[in-house]
Amino acid sequence: MDTTPTTVTRIRLNARQANYIAAFETAYGRPATVTRRALLDIQTQWVGKTGPFGFILRWPAWLTNSPTFTVERAVYALPWSEFDQFQASLAPQTTTP
């Protein structure tokens, strides 16, 4: 029996989550995946630092505990499309008369 899901569940990032992803992008670009070891290394470099949205950078438990973003053991897909949606939601809306 195939247990592979046919649809991928997506989340909507909140400001703290987007803060972490924005800081990650600034430091490391946009890789498709990240390992737990890399996250541990990043966390030690970022202790006490604040991200671009003003939140202190903390361990991304929302990423590492989510089956949505787990690719394999200790490898996680980064939520770039969700991050882009979050940034789009911050853009000022223009209306035409």
The count of residues in the chain is: 97
C-alpha 57/C-alpha 12 separation (Å) is 19
What pLDDT does residue 2 have?
A: 39
Helix H or strand E segment including 42: helix 36-45
Both tokens of 3, joined, read 């247990």
Q: What is the pLDDT along the chain (97 residues), one digit of tens a residue?
A: 434 444 455 689 999 999 999 999 999 999 999 999 999 989 899 999 999 999 999 999 999 999 999 999 999 999 999 999 999 998 776 666 6
